[in-house]
């Protein structure tokens, strides 16, 4: 796990000046720097320093399962949280089974949201040199499907199940490797293919192209539109994603689909803090995000496509079975900026 302190030199490299009167020091945990949550958290740290709101020390690369729990327990101030994890925490289930069904809901109740975004859209891809046959070839294959535990592995397994009916360890062999080794795992041939969260364009695929051209397979249209898949897309922190396939991942990548669309299962979540965070601090952080959204979107080519600045439930995935709501300070910032926050997402 790497730790990145947002200091004057780093800010200067991004074209932002460090304010001399930052009021508080905060800690944050997020995914790898090349991921959507990594980019949003690092951008938040930059704009918070610029505005004199806070100095945020960002740890990149931890398992977000642990990060979410750390915020709930007051050990970390801010974390990137797939909403699926907040659902599982509230039930003391999955990676939080050891916490139990009594303490889990208590911890989940201590989480509050500043803003949301789409973490990624899960898809199948492989090097052309592997001559992989797409979804029909998953049976009996070795598939790299994420880190050893957490939301990404659950999503990848669910997508494969919906697309093929196969289970990890039975119909195919799942390979789990931490995010820090993702590029190496993709390029060294440890797996026949990958089912991982993707962006448009995707940083991991772009890096892997140095070792050869790649094909990405859309989720089969009939499977995507099936009753089972549509029901799953209403699961906590889940959205269906349909994008034009042409040029979606850039040169060197072929997208296979029955038509001109790429279909995938999307993971949504956001930046969470403890409900005890000061109202004005949460408001200021959220306002900094809203007012400097151009900084967030300009950070990488894929950031404009990840639903930044959305408050509509079909993009945020909030309410329903998702237990977390916006922090009161965040609600104030959004509404003062002219956005509508659904009543079900308010504390």
In this predicted model, what pLDDT tens digit does every residue of 177-231 receive, in sequence order? 988 899 999 999 999 999 999 999 998 999 999 999 999 999 999 999 999 999 9
Q: Is 112 helix (H, G, I), strand (E, B) or coil?
A: strand
Query: Could you report the per-residue pLDDT of 51-92, keeping only the tens digit for each?
Result: 999 999 999 988 899 999 999 999 999 999 999 999 999 999
Same domain, yes or no, for 133 and 235? yes
Q: What is the pTM of this model?
A: 0.83
Same domain, yes or no, for 324 and 255? no
Same domain, yes or no, for 208 and 283? no
Helix pair angle (100-108, 83-91), 10° resolution:
140
Same domain, yes or no, for 19 and 59? yes
Same domain, yes or no, for 259 and 183? yes
Is the Cβ–Cβ distance between 5 and 42 less than 8 Å?
A: no
Same domain, yes or no, for 25 and 112? yes
Same domain, yes or no, for 141 and 113? no
Which CATH number fits the domain that encloses residue 71? 3.40.190.10
The residue behind tokens 């320093």 is 49
Note down the domain range covering 162: 121-267
Same domain, yes or no, for 106 and 183? no
Q: Is 105 exposed, middle or buried (0-12, 13-18, 19+ CB in 10 A)?
A: middle
Query: Could you report the per-residue pLDDT of 125-183, keeping only the tens digit for each?
Result: 999 999 999 999 999 999 999 988 777 898 899 999 999 999 999 999 999 998 889 99
Domain boundary among 246, 267, 288: 267
Same domain, yes or no, for 262 and 277? no
Q: Is 73 exposed, middle or buried (0-12, 13-18, 19+ CB in 10 A)?
A: exposed
Is the Cβ–Cβ distance between 189 and 161 less than 8 Å?
A: no
Closest listed residue to residue 6, CA positions, set 46, 37, 44: 46
Same domain, yes or no, for 126 and 263? yes
Q: Is 182 helix (H, G, I), strand (E, B) or coil?
A: helix
Q: What number of other Cβ atoms are within 10 A of residue 167's Cβ?
A: 12
- The number of folded domains in the chain is 2
Same domain, yes or no, for 331 and 241? no
Is the Cβ–Cβ distance between 334 and 291 less than 8 Å?
A: no
């Amino acid at each position: 796990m790497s730790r990145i302190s947002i200091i004057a030199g780093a800010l200067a490299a991004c074209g932002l000046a460090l304010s001399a009167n930052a009021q508080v020091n905060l800690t944050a945990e997020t995914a790898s720097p090349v991921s959507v949550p990594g980019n949003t958290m690092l951008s938040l740290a930059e704009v918070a320093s610029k505005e004199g709101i806070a100095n945020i020390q960002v740890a990149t690369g931890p398992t977000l399962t642990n990060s979410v729990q750390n915020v709930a327990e007051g050990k970390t101030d801010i974390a990137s949280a797939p909403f699926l994890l907040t659902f599982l925490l509230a039930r003391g289930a999955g990676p939080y089974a050891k916490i139990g069904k009594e303490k889990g809901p208590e911890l989940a109740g201590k989480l509050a949201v500043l803003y949301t975004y789409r973490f990624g859209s899960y898809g199948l891809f492989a090097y052309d040199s592997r001559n992989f046959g797409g979804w029909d070839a998953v049976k009996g294959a070795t598939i790299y499907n994420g880190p050893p535990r957490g939301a990404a592995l659950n999503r990848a397994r669910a997508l494969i199940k919906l697309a093929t009916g196969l289970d990890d360890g039975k119909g195919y062999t799942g390979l789990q490797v931490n995010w820090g080794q993702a590029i190496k795992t993709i390029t060294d041939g440890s797996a026949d293919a990958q089912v991982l969260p993707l962006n448009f364009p995707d940083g991991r695929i772009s890096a892997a192209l140095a070792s050869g051209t790649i094909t990405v397979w859309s989720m089969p249209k009939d499977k995507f539109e099936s009753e089972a898949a549509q029901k799953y897309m209403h699961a906590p922190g889940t959205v269906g994603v349909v994008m034009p396939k042409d040029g979606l991942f850039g040169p060197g990548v072929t997208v296979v689909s029955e038509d001109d669309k790429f279909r995938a299962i999307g993971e949504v979540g956001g930046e969470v803090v403890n409900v005890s965070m000061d109202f004005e601090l949460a408001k200021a952080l959220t306002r900094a995000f809203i007012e400097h959204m151009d900084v967030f979107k300009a950070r990488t080519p894929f950031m404009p496509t990840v639903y930044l600045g959305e408050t509509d439930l079909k993009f945020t995935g909030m309410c329903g079975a998702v237990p977390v709501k916006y922090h009161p300070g965040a609600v104030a910032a959004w509404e003062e900026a002219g956005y509508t926050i659904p009543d079900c997402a308010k504390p």
